[in-house]
Each structure stands twice: as structure tokens, then as C-alpha cells.
Structure 1
Amino acid sequence: MSSSFEEKGSGSNSQDHDSVSVYERPKGLRGVYYHPMTQTIMLGFVCFLCPGMFNALTGLGGGGQVNATTSANANSALYATYAVSAFFSGTVCNKIGAKLTLLFGTMGYALYVSSYLQAGLLSPYMSLRAINLHPGASWFVVTSGALLGVTAGFLWTAEGSLMLSYCTEAQKGIYISIFWAIFNLGAVVGASVSFGQNFNSTVIGTGTYVGILVLTLVGVTIPMLMADPDKMIRTDGTRVVMPRHPSWKSEFYALWVAIFTDPTILLLFPLFCASAYFYTWQFNDYNAALFNIRARSLNNFVHWLSQIFGSVMLGLVLDSKWSRRRGRAFAGWSILLVITFVVHIWAYYYQRTYTRASVPVQKMDIYDPQYPAHVWLMIFYGLLDAMWHVMCFWLIGAMSNDTNKLAIYSGFFHSIQAAGSAVGWRLDGLKLPYMTIFISTWCLVGAGLLFSFPMIYLRVKDTTVIEDEGLCVSLLISCVYTLLLSLFFHI
């Protein structure tokens, strides 16, 4: 049952002459199942069990390998294909629907985790062995990484369009933070399993990879249990409008139109690029370089645990009622600026004490007196990581309420993110100096914050309306017109 009303009022939250259809939400258990929060939680558990387990593996440094080069090359291949896949994944998501896109996106994670085992996949005569014990399987890990990059682009674009479509405009920050907390809980669980199983080990045991693989396979089944997005009604009674399905030609053209109609998205590209570039130094050049397996496992655990707190903290700031949305945007940016420079100054203090050539053979253990200070750096990196991603998604959500544009913007985010990460992992695979990778990371996060500031100033309003989404084109045309006039009169 639906009704319509004229929303007539004053202030930034009202729109004259806009007819809004309001629908009655289902009741009872059906209402619980079709509640946007329920579906967001289910979406969170998909990422809990797939990308979350992947993060638990990556966070060990080198995928838990004694030699981190194979993992670095696999991640480079992964993010290179991911960059291409994610750029067009918004188009595919609009064509086949977010639910099917999400299902397809989960499959590569199971393959990637299995690549760390020679579970008879290379030959029926091979026994089940961890790659730590059989380094000849490195080609399989790199190939699986490349295939995962293809599917990961689809998963994350579907996730972004669903998460940002299910919530109302006022709920975007808290929905993003809840999703991010559940997602990172997956890495926490995976890291805790690894820590428990490898407490007295010098290499990651086979059982760790088997456990992570089983959990990942469970995650593949969840998209099939989720509700059809076309049947979803938001908490304010408005129906979730799923993407249109125009021709493929029109969809590819939409990528260009999205940039032309709102070119300020380009100002977020450095912010997007930095969002995964910093993983290389954190996990391979710090965690894997300085710590033994036991300490690496504990570092991994606290890193992902702190992300839960970081996502919720910034989400509450971005959705709080103490200020207008524009003020909250600047507050979130300021928090990110402070924690970014605190963390990188701290990290520089450690990085200047070692190089690739001087890394000690005897790695740091959890019982060493210098360990507590070092583990706190991993905790603060976790806070920064979560806040950075929440800010990225929140800014995307602030730019539009149109599901089609959100899918394309989400594709931009993951494509640029993946391109930056591919470069970072490749530099590590080429064994560039640790300090070089660290300084490039610091410069990139600084650029991300610098370029995002004018975007916030120009585009973040107290509410998102259609007129604002075309605002930047008008500004651009006005600037070009003014420039041409000034040149004409100057000549």
C-alpha cells in the first residue's frame, strides 16, 4: 500500500513540489528480514567471511609466508586486475543486479585462500601441503590473485551500491560504520584463529589455511539468502530504487557522463588511491619485516580489532546531530588529518632504524621489552585505516542519492584504490628500500587529504538534492566562460 504527499516546508531538509511515495513496511518476521539494517548486516557477514578472511591472511605479512615476495607479487597481480574490473563493475552491477554481482564477487576469495594449499589442485598425486612447505606453488598463488582481482571488483561495487542505497540520507554514516565493524570482525576472527594455532610455531600451519578456507566458503552462500533489493523499503517508507538497465553502450557512456556532470569526484582520486596503498608498508615492510610469526599474528589481531572501534567512532561523528552535515564533514576531515600525521611521524621514528639489508634474523617477539610500543603503532594504523574508508564512502554518499551514480562512484573508488595498491605491492616485490615505500605512502595520504578539502567545500551540502548534483557543471562552465572573457578582453 502506498500513498503520496507533498513535502512542503522550509529549511535545507525540505523540497517544494516534490511528490514522495511512502510505503508501509512489512510486519513480524518478514519485516525483520526485509529491514534495511538486517540486509546490511547480512552484507557485512558476506564481507566478514570473504574479504575479512583475506585481510586476516594478508595482515600476517606475506600471507603468513617466510618469504613475502610471492605474496607481494600475488597482491600486485590482484590489484592490477582489480583496477580494470572495478572501473567497469558499476556498469555490470547496473546490468545484472547487485545481488548476482555480489554472488559472483565472492567466488575468487575461496580460490585465493585455497592457493595457499596444494590441496591436490595442481595434481591428484600431490598431498595436502602448505605453500610454506612447497614454494613451487607460487605460480598458483599469483594466478589466483589475478583471478581474485577480477571478482573482487564486482563484490565491492555491489556492496557499495547496496549499502548506500538501503539507508536514508541521515543514516549513511552509521550504516557504513556498522558494516565496516562487521566486515573487520571477520579479520579479527581470522587473526585470532591464526594466533591461537601458531602461538608456538615458526611458520603458519596448514590448519590455519584450511580453517580460513572453510569460513570463506560459507561466505559464498550468503548472497543467495539475501532479499531481492527491489522488494526493500527504507525505514522512512521510501522504496529502494534499483539501477535502470539501459544498453551496454549507454552504460559505458555513463562513466564519462558521471565525471563530466560532477568533476569534483576527481578531487577524491588521491584519497581513494591511498586507501589501500598504505597496506604494503604496514603488513610487509613493518609487520613481516620486524616480527616473528607469533608477534605478527597478534599484531594482525589488534590491527583489525581496532578498526571496529575506528569505524564506529568516525561514523558517530559524521552522523551526529550536534552540527549540520557540512560541519560534520570538516570535523571528520580534521580528525583524519590529525591521526594521519601522528601515525606517520610515529612510524618514521621506527622506520629510520632498519633497512632491508639490516633486518634482524632474530625477529621481535611478544615478550621482548620493545614490543608494546611497536604493537600500539599497529593499533593506531587500524584506527586510521577504518576512518579513512568510512570517510571515503561517506563522501561518495554525500555526492548523490541516485543508485546508478552511486554504483559508478563506487566503481571509481575501488578502481583507483586497486591501482594504487597494485603499484605499492609491486614496488615491494621489486624490493625497493623500505624508506622509499614509506615516504611515498606518507606523501600519498597527505595528497589525499589536501585534494579532498576543496571537494568537501564545494560539494558537501546539508542535504543532497538533484540541483546540487549538477552544481559543479555550472561552476565549471562559469569558470570557463569567465576565463574566455578575460582572455578576449586581454587580447
Structure 2
Amino acid sequence: MSSLEKEIAAEVPKDQEAVNPGAGPATPQKPLSRFTRCYRSPLFNVILVGLISFTQPGIWNALNSTGAGGQQEPYLVNGSNALTYGLMVFGCTIFGVLSNRIGVKKVLIIGTLGYAPYSASLYVNNRYGTEWFVLFGGATCGIAASALWASEGAIALGYGDVKDRGKYAGIWLGLRELGQLIGAAIQLPLNVSTSSRGKVSYTTYLVLIALQCLGLPLALLVSPPEKVIHKDGTRGQNDTKSKKKTTLEEEARKTWALLKRKQMFLLIPILIGFQWNTVYLGIYMTKYFSVRARTLGALVSGIVATLANIFWGWFYDLKYFGRPTLAKACWAFFVVTMLAVFGWQVANEKLYGDSNPRVTLDWENPGFGRAFGSMIIFRFLNESHYMFMYWIVGAFFDDLETLTLAVSLVRTFESIGSCISFGIGAASVSPMVNLIISFAMFGITIPATSWVVFMVPERPVDLRKEDGQSSTETESIEASKVATQAAELSSVPRP
């Protein structure tokens, strides 16, 4: 145990369950230092999780935003990504259960172990042509991503108070997008002289692999939930101990009951089909753009994704519109804009696909803005969709337990869609065929999603109350929390 851990272990009581109002006065504790309170605070832990997300999926996004992980041909990398998402279809649910059994911090640590091998496999393939390692890297990435997705969201949303969850979610997702921005900013100067088609410099991977290796030490610094200290001195709850009593059968029954609700199963088409164009965009960039244009695309994609997060996060919190009106207006905007951009891209694909000789789109060439602009708008709309889906789920459900299950279902069906779309992208079909499939999949999602949008209530629902949780039980829980907090405040120095 390091000196830092020894200091914290000495200052923070390990057995918080000993604090029992019916068992007499609590044992006096040593006052907590300012450093300990800062280190154990929800904000510091959320920042750590955001930095982990920056080093893991953020860098993964930076590589894939160049098209096919920076490779010259997209098929092998698309196959590897299909394997990644295929594992995540089952892995997200499995690690969600494990996080309740062995602890969210341990699952988070597992989530930092598989991304770097994937990036290393791209480096080896780029430099030496090794192919099997890319598939192996896709498998390790799938396992790690399942663990990371099951744990990082729980920490970002569950460690802080309810009133701070929006802010903490913004910090977490904002730092993740920073990974794509910095990763792309590193790639651009390394490839700025390459105005022809091909693959990015292998030096790019070495820098990004080094960044991804920082994820593990950052994860080791994250506090387990029972050691988190809030501003008022209260401690986080040890959810692992309480949830061990819930059987796998009960968890499965709750998940199935949630999936059968109209609000969830009508979202399945859009969760599976909306972002199929992501695979097409990777093929589009590798087929027609120069290497430096692809790295520029990765940088600009990160910028517009960040702007989308900032804009929609502000817009959804506006008090001028009710939630039902806001949901309908946003969805109408997405439908009209996506249909228009798909039509524009079909025209672009026809132009570039039929060109003879084969076109190479570089920022010095005329017509580059037309080809580049449609791709950037797609990136903006994809990130906007991502936020819209989570906002819709949050508009329906209020309690954290239901939201956790709902998010796991959202990510499961997203993984199904990504697995199938990358599988099609791994086949040697023409870019136009891939684009038409993406166009058709989006069209299929419109009716069911429109039905869901018209169901959005003014205020979310607490399903625990709907299920008949007695007020006596609720009052007992709240009284226990107050008593525990009062006892724990005795160890916090007064201002």
C-alpha cells in the first residue's frame, strides 16, 4: 500500500456500517484533511473518469475518425470493429452485473486494459502487415469497452448528488471528446505532408498508444463508492454489499419488464439503425480523401461533436419549452436534416464513385468543401442523435436504478447495430450500396421513434412508486440516511 493510500485509510473509516443510530454514539474519528476531502470528492472522481474516457474511447474515436483506423483499406478494421461490438452486445450486461458483485472500481480497471492492444494491433498492421493481431485487438477492445461502459457512467452519474448529475455528465463526456480532439491534433502534423491517398504514418500510433497506457494508473486512483466524501461530509453508499442480495434472475426480470414498456421497445429501431452511416463515412474517407484530409476530418469531427454536446446540453435545459414540445421540435429537425444530408451524399457518392480516373480529395483541390462538408454535418448529427436518445430516456424515467437498466439496454442495442453495420462494412460491397443501406435504415426508424416522441411526458416517472413502494418504506430509508449523515458529520471539521 502506498503512503497516499495509508494516509487516506487512516483518515477515512473503513467500516461505515458501524455508524448505527441505534448502537450508541459513534467512535470519534480523526478530522479529515483538506487533501483527503478533495481526493475523495465526487468532482475529483468524475474528473478522473473523464480523463480515463479521454485516454480510452476518446483515442479510439480519434483513430477511427480518420477512416478505417488510419489504414489504407477499410475491410479488416471494419471486421475487427464488428467483433468488438459483437462482444459488447453481451458484455455490457455481464459487466453491469459484475459491477454490483465485485465493485465498480474493479470493473473500471478491467475497462482500461483492452484499448491499447487494439491500437498496437493497428500499428503492427500498418508497419508490418500483420492481420491476425487486428482481430485479437478487436476482441480485447470489446471486452474492455463492455467493462468501461458498465462502470464509467455509473461513477459519473452515481457518485454526485442528484442536482450535480447534469454537470458531472458534461465533464465526463466533454473530456471524452477532448480525447478525439487531441488525438486528431497529434495526427494532423504527423501526416500534413501526405496529400495522396493511403494510410497514416505509423508514428501516429506510438503517440496514441502512450496516451492510452495512462488509463490504468488513473483508474487505480478512483475511490470506491463507500469512500467518496460529499461536501457536507457524508459518505457514499456501499452499493455492492446491498445489491449482492439481488439474484441474477431478479435483475433479468427487471430488465425484461423495462424492455417491454412502449418507451423502450419502440426505441429499438433507432438505437440499431441511426448511426449505420458511421461505417459508410469511414469507407468514404478511405476511398476518396488524401491522408492529411482524413486527419483534418478527424480533428474537425471532434470539434463539431463537442459543439453538439455543448449546444444540445444548453438547449435541452431551456425553460421556454415544455419537454413534449421540445422533443417533437428536435426530432422533426433531425428527420428533415438527415433526409436532406442523405440525399446530398447520394449525389456526392455518385459523382466520386463514377469518376475516371479515381478521384483524390485534398484541401488544395477544387470541390473539396462539398465533399468535406457533408461528412462533417453527418458527424454533427450523429453526436446530436446520441445526446437526444439519452435525453429521451431521461425524460421518461426518474429513479437511478431504472435509468441504469435503461442505459444498459440503450448501449446493448447500439452495439447490435454497430456490430451488424461494421460486419457489412467488412464485406467488399460498393460504397454506394453501403450508403443506400444506411439511408434505408434511417427511414425505417422514423415511424417508431416518432411514436415515442409523442409519448414524452412533462416530468419523468419514478417506476419504484409505480410499482407500489410503500411510503412507510420510503420514510424509513430516508430516516436512516439522515441519521447516518448526522453521525458521519461529527468527523468533519467545522468552518
User: What band does the TM-score fall into relative to the shorter chain?
Assistant: 0.7 to 0.9
User: Which residue number in structure 2 is paired with residue 180 of structure 1?
Assistant: 173
Which moves more between the two structures, 42-51 or 200-209? 200-209
CA distance in 1, matches of 2:259, 2:368: 47
Please point out which of 429, 432, 447 is paired with 1:432: 429
User: Which residue number in structure 1 is paired with residue 313 of structure 2?
Assistant: 315
Three-state SS of the structure 1 residue aligned to 2:341 is helix
Q: For 2:219, give the aligned amino acid.
A: P
User: Which residue number in structure 2 is paired with residue 270 of structure 1?
Assistant: 269
Structure 1 residue 34, shift from structure 2 partner: 4.6
User: Which residue number in structure 2 is paired with residue 126 of structure 1?
Assistant: none
Once the two structures are superposed, residues 27-79 of structure 1 have per-residue CA deviations (whole angstroms, 9 ceiling, x without a partner) of 95555445544433322221111011111111111211112221111111111
Percent identity over the alignment is 24
Q: Kindly indicate whether the alpha-carbon contact (under 8 Å) linking 2:398 and 2:460 is maintained by their aligned counterparts in 1.
A: no
Call closer, same or farther: CA 1:221–1:332 in 2, change over 3 Å. Answer: farther
Question: Aligned residue pairs: how many?
Answer: 431
Three-state SS of the structure 1 residue aligned to 2:59 is helix
Alignment of 1:207-222 (within 5 A): 207-222=203-218
User: Does 2:451 align with 1:445?
Assistant: no
Once the two structures are superposed, residues 139-180 of structure 1 have per-residue CA deviations (whole angstroms, 9 ceiling, x without a partner) of 110122023112212211222333333466666555444432
Q: For 1:138, give the aligned amino acid.
A: E
Call closer, same or farther: CA 1:338–1:97 in 2, change over 3 Å. Answer: farther
CA distance in 2, matches of 1:368, 1:151: 41
User: Does 2:393 align with 1:400?
Assistant: no
Three-state SS of the structure 2 residue aligned to 1:458 is coil
CA distance in 2, matches of 1:458, 1:430: 39
Alignment of 1:268-417 (within 5 A): 268-274=267-273, 276-284=275-283, 286-355=284-353, 361-417=358-414
Alignment of 1:448-467 (within 5 A): 448-466=445-463
Which moves more between the two structures, 309-318 or 271-280? 271-280
Q: Which runs of 5+ in 2 are unaligned?
A: 1-15, 17-31, 469-495
CA distance in 2, matches of 1:361, 1:111: 35
Which moves more between the two structures, 234-243 or 144-153? 234-243
CA distance in 1, matches of 2:281, 2:235: 42
User: Which residue number in structure 2 is paired with residue 192 of structure 1?
Assistant: 185
CA distance in 2, matches of 1:427, 1:93: 33
Call closer, same or farther: CA 1:35–1:382 in 2, change over 3 Å. Answer: farther
Please point out which of 404, 416, 419 is paired with 1:419: 416
Once the two structures are superposed, residues 185-244 of structure 1 have per-residue CA deviations (whole angstroms, 9 ceiling, x without a partner) of 101111111111111235322211111101001023222212323344778999766462
Call closer, same or farther: CA 1:268–1:38 in 2, change over 3 Å. Answer: farther
Q: For 1:159, give the aligned amino acid.
A: E
Three-state SS of the structure 1 residue aligned to 2:122 is coil
Q: Kindly indicate whether the alpha-carbon contact (under 8 Å) linking 1:290 and 1:364 is maintained by their aligned counterparts in 2.
A: yes
Once the two structures are superposed, residues 360-414 of structure 1 have per-residue CA deviations (whole angstroms, 9 ceiling, x without a partner) of 5452111112112322223222211221111222223333344333332222122
Three-state SS of the structure 2 residue aligned to 1:79 is helix
Q: Kindly indicate whether the alpha-carbon contact (under 8 Å) linking 2:42 and 2:229 is maintained by their aligned counterparts in 1.
A: yes
Structure 1 residue 467, shift from structure 2 partner: 6.2
Q: Kindly indicate whether the alpha-carbon contact (under 8 Å) linking 1:165 and 1:240 is maintained by their aligned counterparts in 2.
A: no
Which moves more between the two structures, 236-245 or 218-227? 236-245
Q: Kindly indicate whether the alpha-carbon contact (under 8 Å) linking 2:65 and 2:298 is maintained by their aligned counterparts in 1.
A: yes
CA distance in 2, matches of 1:166, 1:447: 38
- After superposition, the CA RMSD in angstroms is 2.9
Call closer, same or farther: CA 1:365–1:52 in 2, change over 3 Å. Answer: same
Three-state SS of the structure 2 residue aligned to 1:93 is helix
Call closer, same or farther: CA 1:321–1:27 in 2, change over 3 Å. Answer: farther
CA distance in 1, matches of 2:323, 2:43: 22
Q: Kindly indicate whether the alpha-carbon contact (under 8 Å) linking 1:173 and 1:318 is maintained by their aligned counterparts in 2.
A: no
Q: For 2:310, give the aligned amino acid.
A: V
Three-state SS of the structure 1 residue aligned to 2:113 is helix
Structure 1 residue 315, shift from structure 2 partner: 0.9
Q: Kindly indicate whether the alpha-carbon contact (under 8 Å) linking 1:172 and 1:397 is maintained by their aligned counterparts in 2.
A: no
Call closer, same or farther: CA 1:319–1:240 in 2, change over 3 Å. Answer: farther
Q: For 2:264, give the aligned amino acid.
A: I
Q: TM-score, normalised by structure 2?
A: 0.78
